[in-house]
Amino acid sequence: MNVLVCGGAGYIGSHTVYKLIEKGHNVIVADSLVTGHKTAVHNDALLFEGDLRDEDFMDRLFSENRIDAVIDFAAFSLVGESVQNPLKYYENNVYGTLKLLQAMVKAGVDKIVFSSTAAVYGEPENNIILESDKTFPTNPYGETKLAVEKILKWSDRAYGIKFAALRYFNAAGAHISGKIGEDHSPETHLIPIIIQTAAGKRDKLYIFGDDYPTKDGTCIRDYIHVTDLADAHIKALEKLVRTNESGIYNLGNGKGFSVKEVVDAVKKVTGKDFPVEIKERRPGDPSSLIASSKKAMEELGWTPKYNTLDKIIETAVKWHIDNPKGYR
């Protein structure tokens, strides 16, 4: 297939591009490089540098290339920043995807896999979250992703655009080759920050709140390896082609780890100790997010391979050791 990957120069997008190429697909990447990296894009993919909100750019993209399906990663995704600056998030995440969908309708492209998030659930009603649970985001980032899910639902009905919305839990880890990995600037995600602290690049690790209603008071998250996420995108695309049916799927390992447990796991994998300090809560953080991925397993035939926290951290540590300055 000819697959357009929007945001394919970013963390999860670049891993999905590697997987698509491994499976023999032709890949076109559209990315503004606002947070992505040119060198993260696989050599066999064609990179078009531009913004989804730029209508001329999108028209050129769709008229110059034969595109069978789209995978859309392009968005801003920092919970804290979205609370500080919600308009920035609505502008890029909602309007950007809207422009993409308009370009798809114009060009007659009718399949899309969309990056949604566990943040659509907000403070969950159940310990293990099902796709049918209530969605009530606690931050603007989650709201923008939920808004797009709704736009997709109505676009399916009106224009026949079939979609898979993949609600990832916490993406982590890096490609097994050590060639691509997580390099956000500034970095805000827990695992890379702990690894940077273990490597002596930060003085100490700050834990945002230890008064949550969890086993040790720190937030619980379900960490899922980026290569397993990449695999789920291919399987979601294959299912769209096979069944022509839209769907929403959680993607996680189904196991929750507290911030303190993740700190201990990185200390164990790296053999390094470092200071840890408790700070106030970060606004917008739900206390616990753990996925039921039963639906993705049954309907997509997806099984995560990196199913322990240690395996996930080991690949992230390898990436940081092989690339101490990230892509720079």
In this complex, which beta carbon is closest to ligand NAD, that of residue 171 or of residue 269? 171
Nearest approach in angstroms of CB 262 to ligand UDP is: 7
Q: b/e for 54-84, b at 16 or more Cβ within 10 A?
A: eeebbeebbeeeebebbbbbbbbbbbebbbe
For residue 114, the cross-strand partners are: 72, 165
> With respect to ligand NAD, which residue has the nearer C-beta, 11 or 306?
11
**E-only strand ranges, the chain:** 2-6, 26-31, 46-49, 69-72, 111-117, 162-168, 170-172, 205-208, 220-221, 223-225, 247-251, 257-258, 276-279, 288-289
Catalog residues that contact ligand UDP under the rule CB under 6 A. Answer: 79, 170, 188-190, 193, 206-208, 219, 221, 259, 282, 285
18 binds, among ligand NAD, ligand UDP, none (CB under 5 to 8 A by kind): none
234/262 with CB nearer ligand UDP: 262
Q: Is 141 a catalytic residue?
A: yes
What would the x/- binding string for ligand NAD be over residues 36 to 75, using CB under 6 A?
x--------------xxx-------------------xxx
Q: Identify residues 87-116 at the interface with ligand NAD (CB under 6 A).
A: 92, 96, 115
List the single partner that 113 binds among ligand UDP, ligand NAD, none, CB under 5 to 8 Å by kind: none
Nearest to 44 by CA among 5, 72, 17, 81: 17
Site string for ligand NAD, 165-204 (x = CB under 6 A): ---x-xx------------x--------------------
206 binds, among ligand UDP, ligand NAD, none (CB under 5 to 8 A by kind): ligand UDP
| Number of residues located near ligand NAD, criterion CB under 6 A | 27
Q: Which is nearer to ligand NAD, 34 or 321 (CB)?
A: 34
Of 106, 97, 257, which is closest to residue 163 (Cα–Cα)?
97
Task: Give dist(CA 122, CA 120) in Å, integer.
Answer: 6
Residues 230 and 107: their CA atoms lie apart, in Å, by: 26
Active-site residue list: 141
